[in-house]
Amino acid sequence: MTYTTPAPFTTRPTLEGTFGMTASTHWLATASAQAVLERGGNAFDAAVASAFVLHVVEPHLNGPGGDMTGVFATAENPSEPIVLMGQGPAPAAATREHYLAEGLELVPGSGALAAAVPAAVDAWLLLLRDHGTWELGDVLAFAIGYARNGHPIVGRVGATISSVAELFTEHWPTSAALWMPEGRAPVAGEMVKNEAYASVLDRLAAAGAPDATREERIDAARHEWSEGFVAQAAVAFSAQPHRHSSGTDHAGVMSLEDFAGCQAGYEPATTFEFRGYTIAKTGAWGQGPALLQTLAILAGYDDEHLDPSTALGAHTILEAQKLAIADREAYYGDADVPLDYLLSEEYAAERRALITEKASTEFRPGTVPGREPFIPPLRTEYTAPALAGVGAMAGVGEPTVSRSGETRGDTCHIDVVDQWGNMVSATPSGGWLQSSPTIPELGFCLGSRLQMTWLEDGAPSTLRSGKRPRTTLTPTLILKDSLPVVALGSPGGDQQDQWQLLYILRTIVGGYSPQQAIDAPSLHTTSIPGSFFPRTWEPGGAVVEDRLGEDVITDLQERGHVVTRAGDWALGRISSVVSDPATGVLKAAANPRGAQGYAAGR
């Protein structure tokens, strides 16, 4: 271990075994994935089963109408990290001109105008078809059981429903019918069912001719999703005007052609070498490469500057993150992004030279030859014109983690490694129950990922027909000597990569075990334009867990950071699985915060 600060105690052990390991943000999803491994399935069968369970047990954090990204490596080709692309594009009629004509200044945070074409389900089915071994019906049986027979709801689902209860009862009656059948939000431990979604999964599992191959039956289910009853119900329902987070009513613009034209796919991962490890992320249509840029900046420092538990380390990390994420805003999107330059050693050195002993309160994207950086509206507060003097509608603004660390809706995560060497990290999100009105025939709603696009012209992430929004979903795969050794990720919107960075530094540089790295005090910057409605920022803002210590927090404040204390256990929901190819030992760890994430394995 190279850090001078001691590693923290752990709330639970790092699991170790040789058969298979799973970790996720909900214990039922973890248990379902591990059950698949125990019955002979591989990591991809297990991840898909877990994902559909998460639709049911974490409906405030993800849904079938949302999106996902994954990074995986197969036992057959372990040296090649592959991105599973489940981020749908903007519908053809989703143009900035239409939204401006609707009187909007920002893409709303809720309502069908915020919806990208759903791609998560197609991505999971594609992964199962190409790399899994199980029949679709067997994989979906776990989720069907929980949806039809019920499951004890976690308290945060009820809290989320309570926060939008007025919206549901006054404007979204189909959501009230599903989530408040007795006129109130469910309480922790109450059995909750979703028969409509169970029936959807039944119909997907039954698609295809009995004499068709396994792959053909899965493709038949994909067709039912994109061109059959799912697409038809979603398009017809979302076309009805309804309340958005802008405080105004609008109709959705998604068409059957949008559904039919959206397919998930595979892409090469974007990678960066750090301390002998290969860090693999999505392309710059997601925020993932910002983590790589941060590592490129930090690579020029000694170990003393890379310990998040010290004032020097925390300050250095926060300042590096601000610079990398400023570039995310200026240059990232579903466009031609100059990643080779942004990840170059020369450019990283230029950015590193901007870090001083004092906290920056400026928005400082770098200079790329031949490119004009986009400067977003730098608002410290925002109220939609229709809500002026009224206040924002509770629960439908930023669906991630608030600056105080409070979770108001978010994302999920899954990691799986099996005995054969397959490894997958996946982050499903969107389509949460507060995204838009529930489609009654389907038991879920459309997502709201388009809120990550700008209505200002000229940005790489400006709203454009057929273009993917710059998603915050950012799973990570780490390789050593061309073999996958770590899969990790976290919910948290703009904080996802910030929290993962701390794990990477603490394990690779500090020598922490996986559980030690997860349990250690966390922090992140809010001195960045938010990716979610209302897209504000806090110049110099830093959120820390109190366990970081009075001396460290005081030092950060003296350096100029505007510190918000989040409490002792508030920031981060990381999970991870680990493989040691030299010994065959597999490991897993999960976040104790919120008492919901769990790892399992043997």
Residues 6+ apart with CB under 8 A from 149: 193
Q: Is 481 exposed, middle or buried (0-12, 13-18, 19+ CB in 10 A)?
A: exposed
pLDDT recorded at residue 46: 98
pLDDT recorded at residue 404: 36
Mean pLDDT by runs of 10 across the 602 residues of the chain is 81 97 98 98 98 97 96 98 98 97 93 97 98 98 98 92 92 97 95 98 95 97 97 98 93 98 98 98 98 98 97 98 97 97 98 98 97 93 64 41 44 96 97 95 96 94 97 97 97 94 98 97 95 90 97 98 95 96 97 94 98
pLDDT recorded at residue 179: 97
Strand partners for 85: 69, 265
Strand partners for 272: 279
∠ Cα 525 530 532 (to 5°):
140
Task: Return the number of other C-beta atoms located less than 10 Å from residue 525's C-beta.
Answer: 24
Q: Where do the H-state alpha helices sit in 256-344? A: 256-261, 288-298, 311-331, 339-342
Beta strands 541-544 and 562-565: pairing type?
parallel
Structure tokens that stand for 155 in this block: 């308290």
Structure tokens that stand for 179 in this block: 């989530």
Residues 6+ apart with CB under 8 A from 145: none
pLDDT recorded at residue 197: 98
Cβ–Cβ < 8 Å for 498, 300: no
Structure tokens that stand for 347 in this block: 């450019």
Cβ–Cβ < 8 Å for 542, 523: yes
Kindly list the structural domains of the chain, giving each domain's residue range(s) and its CATH number in brackets, ordered by start. 16-150+193-267+410-601 (3.60.20.40)
Reduced to 3 states (helix: H, G, I; strand: E, B; else coil), residue 523 is: strand
CA distance 74 to 474: 19
